[in-house]
């Protein structure tokens, strides 16, 4: 046991989870009050991941650069229910003729969570769609084939009944829940139907949910979200997007360009701190009596953004929002992240604690998730390894005397657990999954850096970021870009850390 045994025992007593984007292995399948996830018998077969292919040039190009989502959200904050009118303008960049679209509809994973009122494509009502009870998959047949270069408009009206979040639940029995409401906040994450990516030759990328890790894959899209409250409430709104003029006194409007997701967190008890970093406004939303950790979350986010812009490349949005989560988890979204309430409770007014570590980690996901995306179900290491190792880069830059402490403290339970390139379905449990994709991955990055030196290592990361801004990268892409910068023999590292040859 490391010298931080007392601190770690306290962490355990609070059921602290390890890092963002993680959820524990339930002892049994959840009730209908929690999202239904597959049993071992529905485990998907392994899917090969092609490298990023260039956009075909033999077809007309869509007039839109990416999909556009316009949502009019009318929320009754008192009853935790909402109605939404949504328009998706979808350009066909796939290079193939499409006869259907597949949308992810995550609120439908909760019993009674979603009621679909109407659905149309280019103003033609669609009644023969497929959306099974407690399923995330909406199959939408198109009234006319969508040719490469074509664009369609999908209009959807639906109702949402938000589930109550499991307060202080045992993470060994119930998956920590972010979507829904507690006594102190209401969180709208993965709350709207969205068209999942289409991989030419492979099909639609929509994987089964799992007990831990993330399963969704995203294209970049533009978002325009208007929020109004039907019960006269006027709470604070933490948002992925920047607020702009709504044109109406009783509503608020938020926009985000080229994001993967759009998240909202709403509360009547938030306190807010903010700071400017160049032309970016950084926000920290936290509950009363948490001023010191709320300021620390803000400060760490600002510092980390400056470090990552220097080391990796530019941040792409106009705002960055960090929110105290009223649940036992943390999670990143575009221009937005949560940190667990328990990290706030354990903050000790120094950088030697998990609040600072995880704030640096979550901020890094704006580079390794929002900007450079991946298939989070099949190749989760591409964002989790890089976000974890980015913590090390943050500490060596801002708190260089604490790098050794970081390695020791971060890996208090670390054991060599297996290969980095592990799918979420093959993790062997939450703790082994963490050890593979987060910790073993960070050790691999350190070994790679030592092999080639800082100059080549950081030039490689900058180029990797630059080549895949707004795209999805694969493991093959990662190593292709690396080999463009170095001829070093890394076969020993590949054998030690990876189960496949890339």
Residue 24's pLDDT is 31
Give the residues across from 157 on adjacent strands.
Answer: 85, 118
Residue 131's pLDDT is 97
Helices (H) and strands (E) in the chain, counts: 11, 22
Token digits for 330?
A: 């943390």
What is the Cα–Cα distance from 323 to 7, expressed in whole angstroms? 24
Nearest alpha-carbon partner for 47 in 233, 213, 202: 202
Nearest alpha-carbon partner for 62 in 152, 141, 143, 145: 152
Token digits for 118?
A: 């109407």
CATH class of residue range 5-497: mainly alpha
Contacts (Cβ under 8 Å, ≥6 apart) of 149: 59, 60, 61, 62, 92
Coil, strand or helix at 99: strand
Residue 458's pLDDT is 98
Per-domain boundaries in the chain:
5-497
Contacts (Cβ under 8 Å, ≥6 apart) of 475: 49, 379, 381, 382, 421, 498, 500, 502
How far is Cα of residue 287 from the mean position of the Cα atoms in its chain? 23
Give the residues across from 68 on adjacent strands.
Answer: 89, 222
What is the Cα–Cα distance from 293 to 325, expressed in whole angstroms? 13
Which helix (H) or strand (E) is 228 found in, with range?
strand 221-229
User: Per residue of the chain (502 residues), what is the pLDDT tens digit?
Assistant: 333 333 333 333 333 334 444 333 322 323 334 444 444 333 343 334 444 444 444 567 788 999 999 999 999 999 999 999 999 999 999 999 999 999 999 999 999 999 999 999 999 999 999 999 999 999 999 999 999 999 999 999 999 999 999 765 554 455 678 999 999 999 999 999 999 999 998 899 999 999 899 999 999 999 999 999 999 999 999 999 999 999 888 999 999 999 999 999 999 999 999 999 999 999 999 999 999 999 999 999 999 999 999 999 999 999 999 999 998 878 999 999 999 999 999 999 999 999 999 999 999 999 999 999 999 999 999 999 999 999 999 999 999 999 999 999 987 655 666 899 999 999 988 888 989 999 999 999 999 999 999 999 999 999 999 999 999 999 999 999 999 999 999 999 999 999 999 9
What is the Cα–Cα distance from 323 to 312, expressed in whole angstroms? 24
Contacts (Cβ under 8 Å, ≥6 apart) of 342: 14, 15, 16, 328
């Amino acid at each position: 046991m490391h010298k931080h045994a007392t601190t770690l025992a306290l962490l355990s007593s609070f059921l602290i989870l390890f890092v963002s984007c993680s959820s524990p292995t339930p002892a049994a399948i959840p009730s209908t009050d929690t999202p239904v996830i597959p049993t071992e018998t529905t485990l998907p077969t392994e899917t090969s991941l092609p490298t990023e292919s260039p956009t075909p040039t033999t077809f007309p190009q869509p007039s839109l650069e990416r999909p556009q989502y316009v949502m009019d959200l009318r929320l009754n904050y008192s009853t935790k229910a909402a109605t939404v009118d949504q328009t998706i303008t979808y350009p066909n960049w796939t290079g193939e003729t499409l006869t259907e679209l597949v949308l992810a509809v995550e609120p439908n994973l909760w019993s009674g969570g979603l009621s679909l009122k109407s659905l149309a494509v280019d103003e033609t009502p669609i009644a023969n769609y497929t959306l099974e009870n407690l399923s995330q998959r909406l199959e939408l047949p198109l009234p006319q084939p969508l040719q490469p270069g074509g664009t369609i408009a999908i209009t959807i009206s639906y109702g949402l009944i938000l589930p109550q979040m499991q307060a202080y639940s045992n993470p060994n029995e119930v998956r920590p829940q972010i979507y829904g409401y507690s006594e102190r906040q209401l969180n709208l994450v993965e709350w709207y139907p969205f068209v999942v990516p289409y991989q030419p030759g492979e099909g639609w990328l929509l994987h089964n949910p799992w007990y831990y890790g993330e399963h969704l894959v995203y294209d970049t899209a533009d978002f325009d979200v208007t929020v109004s409250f039907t019960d006269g409430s006027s709470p604070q709104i933490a948002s992925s997007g920047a607020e702009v003029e709504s044109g109406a006194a009783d509503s608020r409007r938020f926009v985000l360009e080229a994001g993967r997701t759009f998240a909202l967190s709403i509360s009547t008890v938030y306190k807010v701190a903010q700071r400017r970093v160049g032309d970016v406004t950084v926000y920290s939303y936290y509950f009363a009596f948490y001023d010191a950790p709320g300021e620390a979350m803000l400060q760490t986010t600002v510092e980390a953004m400056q470090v990552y812009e220097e080391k990796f490349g530019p941040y792409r949005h106009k705002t960055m929002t960090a929110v105290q989560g009223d649940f036992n988890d943390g999670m990143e979204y575009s221009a937005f992240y949560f940190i667990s309430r328990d990290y706030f409770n354990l903050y000790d007014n120094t950088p030697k604690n998990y609040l600072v570590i995880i704030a640096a980690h979550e901020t890094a996901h704006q580079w390794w998730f929002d900007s450079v995306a991946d298939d989070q179900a099949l190749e989760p290491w591409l964002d989790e390894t890089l976000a974890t190792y980015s913590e090390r880069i943050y500490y060596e830059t801002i708190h260089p005397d604490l790098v050794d402490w970081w390695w020791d403290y971060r890996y208090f339970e670390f054991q060599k657990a297996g290969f980095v390139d592990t799918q979420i379905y093959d993790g062997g449990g939450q703790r082994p999954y963490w050890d593979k994709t987060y910790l073993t991955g960070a050790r691999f990055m350190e070994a790679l850096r030592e092999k080639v030196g800082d100059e080549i290592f950081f030039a490689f990361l900058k180029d990797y970021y630059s080549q895949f801004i707004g795209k999805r990268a694969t493991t093959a892409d990662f190593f292709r870009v690396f080999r463009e910068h170095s001829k070093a023999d890394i076969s020993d590292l590949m054998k030690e850390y990876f189960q496949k040859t890339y």
